Chains A and B, each alone.
Chain A
Amino acid sequence: MTAALLTGADAKTEVPLKRRLRRAERRRQAKALALVLPLLLFLLFTFAGPIAGMLWRAVDDHEVRQILPQAVAALASWDSKDLPDEKAYAALASDILAARASGTIAIAAKRLNYALNGFRTILTSTARNLKAAPEPGTAKEALVKINPAWRERTTWTTIKDASGPVTGFYLLAALDLTRNVDGAIVATAPDQAIYREVFARTFLISLSVTALCLMLGFPVAYLLATLPPGRSNLLMIFVLLPFWTSLLVRTCAWIVLLQSKGVVNDSLHWLGIIDEPLRLIYNRFGVCVAMTHVLLPFMILPLYSSMKAISPAYMRAAASLGAPPLTAFLRIYLPQTLPGIGAGSLLVFILALGYYITPALVGGAADQMISYFIALYTTETANWGLASALGAVLLLATVLLALVYGKLVQGQQVTGGMKN
């Protein structure tokens, strides 16, 4: 009897216990969430939201749909094989008249001109010359009379392709690809293809800067990690000094140093090494020098922290086991700095990929990186779709790199070591 009562009581208290535990856990989680909530909201509104918005613009295609709604609807069932039927012509004519009245024709013209050079003229001339809605059955005749381009299949496939609501057009364009009249993906005409080359250039400059940073930063980081604290602190201040100066100031300082009447050229001339000033700026050399200078601390700091964690006992152990200094360095020291090399290189490379101001100020026309074109399309020509698509491709490449790095580091994971 008593036993039964006891177990009954146990069974009864067990459920509330679990529930109490859950409630306590929930309270703890809520507290943790409350602590990060302000930052989370801040990031959501200022960072994640705008980025998502920009990414959406890379595939968003609503202008033509909005401005030429009847034509878009009429073309929906068109098989793109022959010219569309009279109905489509009539719909387009009606759309153009309506757009002209509301003053939105230029927007559609601009969008269509991205896809087919000269479309702006076709559309605006048609809008200008189309006096009134053509008689039923004569729409095709009327439009073709105004501009013979309406007899071309390409003109119509361009409208159909741009009818949205989403498009791969910008993303394809960012990779120098386009759809031909039959809808197949083909390479852009060579004279218009530039982005692959720009991406390749961006990666090449970033890679050179990363390699330079690694070559220059590794010995400095080693010195930092091995010097006695007093001197290493002083050296660290010199390493961090660039961080405390504005990027613009540092870049302009390089202009002062490297220009043809600059400090470097004057010194070399004075020393009699050169007769003519060397071209040190507004070319690839200047870009690499200035970017390496700006990005060097991002390489040195991860290297330093990974080297600081390597006990000097390892090198002593290697020496006592018979390894000459170079062997000990290559087989014992270097492998342990790999996580630092990876982190520093990735950091520098990714930062370099997005560099804008420095190449814009000290580079020539052939040294502009992808961010220059993104800025150009965002601020100058307001082709946000292409700007977003270029950004999306860059973002994708960066994310892929980060993932690859993550995999590499995971495989390289060094656990434990010295227990001190």
Chain B
Amino acid sequence: MEAGMVKPAPALVRFSGIQKTYDGEHLVVKNLDLDIRKGEFITLLGPSGSGKTTTLMMLAGFEVPTQGEIYLAERPIKNVPPHKRDIGMVFQNYALFPHLTIAENIAFPLSVRNTSKAEAQERVSAALRMIKMEALAHRRPGQLSGGQQQRVALARALVFNPQLVLMDEPLGALDKRLREQMQLEIKQLHETMGITVVYVTHDQSEALTMSDRIAVFNDGIVQQIDRPDALYEHPVNSFVAHFIGENNVLAGTVETVEKEYCRVALAGGGAVTARAVNVSGVGASTSLSVRPERIAIIPDGGAGDGPNRLPAKVQNTIYLGDHALAVLDVAGNGKFMVKLQPGTHDSLRHGEGVFITFRPEDCLALNPV
């Protein structure tokens, strides 16, 4: 340690060189290094089989890392059994004990800790108040709706004030409206209680809504860890660009590179200037990524220039209430989406030739897919 350097706040959880294999042949998690800060809401996001749930299970203690060590509050926990880790967990299907009432379910973590009866009762009532379910205390889980069960599972995982709360796709079984409502409730709980949450989901909008930071998993590797807006604006590779938000892909070859920008010849004809985020050099193939809302449509022969102007043919328009999408054929990509300003979608006709234009900084040259 150099004198005078400010020591950074230690991470609450530190994954150090973690590898995990189930069959001895394929690594489900390949060399994971990840710090989770105290008080943050971090989401492990990725498609199924990407290693995010395995990572969570290793943290909870239900899976043992094949290699590496996990530290919780500076203490190695690889060999600490789950019940001694003091980590609350909310399961995918809630896992409420069916033979116990709601109050008994919430009291369970307190009773196994030999909390005094009076205190347990007080904390259970407080937890029931928090989830606004005092009236249902003596029901059984089977008599509750999915959303209510979810709240009980949350209350049960929080009632013993764990230093860390894990959530494994807790909203997966709920319908869309309830899911969105619960997202806000969980976010609010996180903010008011100041707890550290590790949340696993494959739903990118859920991750964007709730997280302080998101770790995008694919293929057993963390592709990128960053704030939601940074992931959206500055994805480091094609996978992240594609997984977070809507995204148009154009294939091409790098012609020239100049500082942060490069000129790319498209495979379907034409050339555009893009930000060189993840290209290996001149002559390399690349995938361009452009967000649908960063593109403007100008009618044939209309004004507007700049380096990125491509001919397009209207395939279809889709009305979505608050906005509309135009599906275009651009440089061989027949599913090129452009978000339209409200009220402009009916001016486009099927088969009509138009031009699209976007700024070079909104077009990212990434690794080829």
Q: Which of B82-90, B262-270, B354-362 contacts A (4 or more CB under 8 A)?
A: B82-90
User: Are B112 and A327 touching (Cβ within 8 A)?
Assistant: yes
- Does A379 count as interface, using CB distance less than 8 angstroms? no
- Since A319-B81, A323-B108 are in contact, a sample of 16 more A-B pairs with Cβ atoms closer than 8 Å, ordered by chain A residue number, is A317-B91, A317-B96, A317-B97, A320-B166, A321-B160, A323-B83, A323-B112, A324-B112, A335-B99, A412-B99, A414-B98, A417-B96, A417-B141, A417-B142, A418-B93, A418-B95
Given the interface pairs A322-B83, A322-B112, A336-B99, the reply to whether A316 lies near B88 with Cβ below 8 Å is no
Is B345 part of the binding interface, using a Cβ–Cβ cutoff of 8 Å? Answer: no
Binary interface encoding of chain A residues 164-195 relative to chain B, with 1 for a CB under 8 A from any of its CBs, else 0: 00000000000000000000000000000000
Verify A314–B141 contact, CB threshold 8 A.
no
The answer to whether B176 has its CB under 8 Å from any CB of chain A is no
A365-420: which residues lie under 8 A (CB-CB) from chain B?
A: 412, 414-420
The yes or no answer to B109 lying at the interface (CB within 8 A) is yes
| Sampled A-B contacts (15; CB under 8 Å) | A319-B62, A320-B82, A320-B88, A320-B89, A321-B88, A321-B157, A323-B109, A325-B83, A412-B99, A414-B99, A414-B140, A416-B142, A416-B143, A416-B144, A417-B142
Residues of B within 8 A of A320 (CB): 60-61, 82-83, 85, 87-89, 157, 166
Q: Is B52 an interface residue (CB 8 A)?
A: no
Is B275 positioned at the interface, with any CB of A under 8 Å from its CB? Answer: no
Range, interface on chain A? 20 to 34
Across-interface contacts of A236 in B (CB, < 8 A): none
B contact residues, total (Cβ < 8 Å) = 37
Shortest 3 CB-CB distances between A and B: which pairs? Answer: A416-B142, A417-B98, A415-B142
State the CA gap A416–B112 with chains docked (Å).
Answer: 24
- B353 within 8 Å of A (CB atoms): no
User: For residues 50 through 85 of chain A, which have their beta carbon under 8 Å from a beta carbon of chain B?
Assistant: none
* CB < 8 Å neighbour of B86 from A322, A323, A412: A322
Q: How far is the CA of A279 from the CA of B108 in the complex (A)?
A: 51
Q: Which of A318-352 contact B (CB under 8 A)?
A: 318-325, 327-328, 331-332, 335-336
Q: Which residues of A contact B84 (CB under 8 A)?
A: 322
B71 to chain A, nearest CB (A): 19
Q: How far is the CB of B92 from chain A (nearest CB, A)?
A: 8
- Contact residues in A for B149 (Cβ distance below 8 Å): 419
Please name all residues of chain B whose beta carbon is closer than 8 Å to the beta carbon of A319 when the two chains form the complex.
61-62, 81-83
Selected contact of A318 from candidates B88, B94, B108, B144, CB within 8 Å:
B108
CB-based contact B95/A314 at 8 Å: yes
The answer to whether A322 and B141 touch across the interface, beta carbons within 8 angstroms, is: no
List chain A positions with a Cβ less than 8 A from chain B.
311, 313-314, 316-325, 327-328, 331-332, 335-336, 412, 414-420
B92 surroundings in chain A (CB, below 8 A): 313
Task: Tell me which residues across on chain A come within 8 A of B61, comparing CB atoms.
Answer: 319-320
Tell me, in angstroms, the Cα distance from A163 to B320 when the chains sit together.
Answer: 94
With both chains docked as a complex, state the minimum distance between the C-beta of B168 and any C-beta of chain A, in angstroms: 10
With a cutoff of 8 Å between Cβ atoms, the chain A residues found around residue B146 in the complex are 419
A313 touches B91 (CB 8 A): yes
Kindly provide the distance from the CB of B98 to the nearest chain A CB, expressed in whole angstroms. 4
Given A313-B91, A316-B82, A323-B112, verify A415-B60 contact (CB < 8 Å). no
Which residues on the B side are within 8 Å of A324 (C-beta)?
A: 83, 112
Cβ distance B67 to chain A, nearest Cβ, rounded Å? 23
| Chain A positions within 8 Å of B93 at CB level | 311, 313, 418-420
In the complex, whether B113 has a CB less than 8 A from a CB of chain A is yes
CB distance from A252 to the nearest CB of B (A): 44
Q: B339 interface residue, CB < 8 Å from A?
A: no
**Contact residues in B for A412 (Cβ distance below 8 Å):** 99
* B287 → chain A closest CB, angstroms: 39
For B141, list chain A residues within 8 Å (CB).
416-417
- Minimum CB–CB distance for A152 against chain B, Å: 66
Give the one of A327, A414, A418 with max B CB within 10 A: A418
| Assembled-state Cα–Cα distance A320/B84 (Å) | 8
Is B318's beta carbon under 8 Å from chain A?
Answer: no
Residues facing A in B44-95 (CB within 8 A) are 60-62, 81-89, 91-95
Least Cβ–Cβ distance between A96 and chain B, in angstroms: 70
A contact residues around B156 at 8 Å (CB): 321
Q: How far is the CA of A163 from the CA of B193 in the complex (A)?
A: 87
Chain B: minimal CB distance from A93 (Å): 74
In the assembled complex, B130 has its CB within 8 A of some CB on chain A = no
For residue B186, CB closer than 8 A to chain A, the reply is no
What is the bound-complex CA distance between A189 and B140, given in angstroms?
56
Cβ distance B127 to chain A, nearest Cβ, rounded Å: 13
A321/B112 in contact, CB under 8 A: yes
Q: Are B142 and A322 in contact (CB under 8 A)?
A: no
What 0/1 readout, one digit per residue, does chain B (257-286) give for beta carbons within 8 Å of chain A? 000000000000000000000000000000
Inter-subunit contact B113/A415 (CB<8 Å): no
CB distance from A273 to the nearest CB of B (A): 41
Q: How far is the CA of A318 from the CA of B156 in the complex (A)?
A: 11
- Say whether A415 contacts B81, CB under 8 Å: no
Question: B143 — which chain A residues lie within 8 A by C-beta?
Answer: 415-416
Tell me, rounded to whole Å, the shortest Cβ–Cβ distance linking B285 to chain A: 44
With known contacts A323-B108, A415-B140, A317–B99 Cβ distance under 8 A: no
Which among B62, B96, B142, B160 is the interface contact of A316 at CB below 8 angstroms? B62
Do A314 and B142 touch (CB < 8 A)?
no
Q: Report the separation of the CA atoms of residues A318 and B94 in the bound assembly, to the nearest whole angstrom.
A: 12
B173 at the interface (CB under 8 A from A): yes
Q: Could you tell me the distance in whole angstroms from the C-beta of A358 to the nearest C-beta in chain B?
A: 36
Whole-angstrom CA separation of A417 from B113 in the bound complex: 24
Asked whether A416 and B140 contact (CB < 8 A) given A318-B108, A319-B81, A321-B112, the answer is yes
Q: Are B99 and A419 in touch, CB under 8 angstroms? A: no
A336 in contact with B82 (CB, 8 Å): no
User: Which chain B residues lie closer than 8 Å to A322 at the CB level?
Assistant: 83-84, 86, 109, 112-113, 160
From the candidates A313, A321, A325, A415, name the one contacting B109 in the complex (CB within 8 A): A321
Chain B residues near A323 (CB-CB < 8 A): 83, 108-109, 112
Is B108 touching A321 in the complex (CB atoms < 8 A)?
Answer: yes
CA distance A262 to B34 in the complex (A): 66
* Distance in Å: Cβ of B116 to nearest Cβ of chain A: 16
Please, how many angstroms separate the alpha-carbon atoms of A318 and B95 in the complex?
9
Could you tell me the distance in whole angstroms from the C-beta of A43 to the nearest C-beta in chain B? 36
Docked CA distance A321–B82 (Å): 9
Q: Please measure, in the bound complex, the distance between the C-alpha atom of A414 and the C-alpha atom of B89, giving whole angstroms.
A: 23
Residues of A within 8 A of B83 (CB): 318-325, 328
Most chain-B Cβ atoms within 10 A of its Cβ — which of A316, A322, A335, A418?
A322
B97's partner among A314, A325, A415, A420 (CB-CB below 8 A) is A314
B216 to chain A, nearest CB (A): 25
Give Cα A314–Cα B91 distance, bound, in whole angstroms.
9
Q: In the complex, what residue of chain A is closest to B91 when comparing beta carbons? A: A313
* B 129-151 binary contact with A (CB < 8 Å = 1; else 0): 00000000000111110100100
Residue in chain A with minimal CB distance to B141: A416
Q: How far is the CB of A390 from chain B (nearest CB, A)?
A: 40
